[in-house]
Amino acid sequence: MALADIVDEPLMGEPLLKRMRVDRLAIFRALQVGDMLCAVPALRAIRAALPRAHIALVGLPWAAQFVQRYRRYVDEFVPFPGHPAFPEQPVREAELEAFYAGMRARSFDLALQMHGSGQISNRIVAEFGAGAVAGCVAPGSAVVDPISFMEYPEEGPEPLRLLRLAEFIGAPAIGNHLEFPLTDEDERELRDSGLAAGLEPGGYICIHPGARIRDKCWPPERFAEVADALADEFKLRIVLTGSAKEADLTAAVAGRMRNAAVDTASPLSLGAMAALMSRARLLVCNDTGVSHIAAGLRLPSVVVFSKADMQRWAPLDQDRHRCIWDPEGQRVELALQHARSLLKSDQPPVRS
């Protein structure tokens, strides 16, 4: 269906969502935790612009839990079976034909490519068979439909890049802040695990030494140095967080510390780990999805970067979240300076 067929008289200068009726929207963003959390401001804007639309997220299998957490903004999750050009997951070849047939059968009014510059993802989204397609194109590419496609922003923080796309299609920003809503299930899982037993709200610091990509992790001895110094100076307990796959890293930090640490690396869900972090005074971590959880929780943090684009992935609130560039693992004192500043200025959280 052509855009001109969707409305009787398209208005020059009006964005896409003003030109067409959207009752069913598919959003494609098949990425990992931090990437998805950075999309929350754009999803919030889109929901405000389309309060009655059915919004489906097409993403990686793990994102089913993301949709459950952000039900205010997304109604449905559709698992994406992958593409050879995308490294986030192996392609499930046997599922591809059924996936695309199922998407076409859904008759979405609009499919929004929110996966990047569109060099591969625009072709994927075009196969959804929606009435219209929108998104970004790579800089320098010919924009065949300037109403539906904008040039991909190559600079700026990720949440703001995605907000520019939302605003381009007619969904004005409703703030640029991240969110990480905690649920009763998160709290129940944390309580049942026993990992938080004896931890007083505001009485501990979380140290998260892991990351999905191991070679961007700060050395365990650096985390241990920071943890010991802060434990001594502020009389706070040290809680080491991580998934079960990161237990070797938390153990390595604990083994290098003078002070006793509480090692909570375990099969906790992301939500239960966030509930544990929400009661902390501070988080010290690598550049990973946990830093965006901290931003959503408004938990002060010190984030160590060593490979990724810091301008793109640093939290927006740079007073509450301090980032350092340290690919050589030598800037412990700078990390401590930021941590001290945050601990001295921040009040302990009050949790019921």
Q: What pLDDT is attached to residue 141? A: 85
Q: What pLDDT is attached to residue 346? A: 66
Domain 3-169: CATH superfamily is: Glycogen Phosphorylase B; (3.40.50.2000)
Residue 344 φ/ψ, nearest 5 degrees: -75, -25
Q: What pLDDT is attached to residue 8? A: 41
Q: What pLDDT is attached to residue 215? A: 87
Q: What pLDDT is attached to residue 350? A: 40
- From first to last of its 352 residues, what are the pLDDT tens digits of the chain? 333 333 444 445 799 999 999 999 999 999 999 999 999 999 999 999 999 999 999 999 999 999 999 999 999 999 999 999 999 999 999 999 999 999 999 999 999 999 999 999 999 999 999 999 999 999 988 777 899 999 999 999 999 999 999 999 999 999 999 999 999 999 999 999 999 999 999 999 999 999 988 888 999 999 999 999 999 999 999 999 999 999 999 999 999 999 999 999 999 999 999 999 999 999 999 999 999 999 999 999 999 999 999 999 999 999 999 999 999 999 999 999 999 999 998 655 444 3
Task: For residues 120 and 87, give the distance between their C-alpha atoms in angstroms, rounded to a whole number.
Answer: 12
> Which residue's structure tokens are 């640490």?
261
User: Has this prediction a pTM greater than 0.85?
Assistant: yes
> Which residue's structure tokens are 């640093």?
314
CA distances from 81 to 35, 86, 99 (A): 18, 11, 7
Enumerate the CATH 3.40.50.2000 domain ranges in the chain, comma separated. 3-169, 184-345
Which fold, 184-345? Answer: Rossmann fold (3.40.50)
Number of neighbouring beta carbons within 10 Å of residue 289 = 20
Residues 6+ apart with CB under 8 A from 214: none
